[in-house]
């Protein structure tokens, strides 16, 4: 599966066990605001139950959907940051810490931060919840 959300990073670019510094920094920001991000992911998972039944129980497909959502969310934040001076106060630190958004390995962020949500989502199909 060719996923543009995954960074092709060389071994020497690794940073604190992550693909690169940008991925590490974004994951730290998710940890700092984990309630917000976990709520976003759980809301997305609820909508996935109505998606194509062939895919909505495929773990890799679910990870890709979450990665797309995180990428879109961060792009929206960056766009608001440039358009609205009030947003500057909320997100300027995060955007400065991360740096190049295109280098973030969103799949790695999803695997590291949201596996419990994905596993609980998949279990809900087995239990009928």
Angle between helices 85-98 and 59-83 (to 10 degrees): 130
Q: Is 63 inside a domain boundary?
A: yes
Q: Mention every residue, 6+ apart, whose C-beta is less than 8 A from residue 92.
A: 81
Q: Is 68 inside a domain boundary?
A: yes
Return per-residue pLDDT of the chain as tens, 129 residues.
Answer: 444 455 555 556 799 999 999 999 999 999 888 888 989 898 888 888 777 677 778 899 999 999 999 999 899 888 887 777 665 667 788 888 999 999 999 999 999 999 999 999 888 877 765
Q: Is 77 inside a domain boundary?
A: yes
Q: Is 6 inside a domain boundary?
A: no
What letter would DSSP give residue 50? T
pLDDT at 2: 44
Q: Is 81 inside a domain boundary?
A: yes
Tell me which residue range forms the domain holding 28: 20-44+58-127
Domains identified in the chain, total number: 1
Q: Is 91 inside a domain boundary?
A: yes
């Amino acid at each position: 599966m060719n996923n543009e959300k995954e960074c092709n990073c060389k071994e020497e670019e690794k940073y604190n066990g992550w693909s690169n510094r940008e991925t590490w920094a974004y994951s730290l920001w998710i940890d700092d605001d984990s309630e917000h991000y976990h709520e976003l992911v759980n809301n997305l998972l609820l909508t996935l139950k109505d998606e194509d039944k062939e895919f909505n129980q495929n773990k890799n497909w679910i990870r890709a959907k979450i990665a797309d959502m995180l990428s879109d969310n961060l792009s929206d934040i960056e766009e608001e940051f440039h358009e609205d001076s009030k947003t500057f106060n909320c997100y300027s630190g995060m955007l400065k810490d991360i740096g190049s958004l295109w280098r973030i390995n969103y799949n790695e962020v999803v695997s590291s931060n949201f596996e419990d949500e994905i596993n609980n989502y998949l279990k809900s199909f087995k239990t009928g919840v």
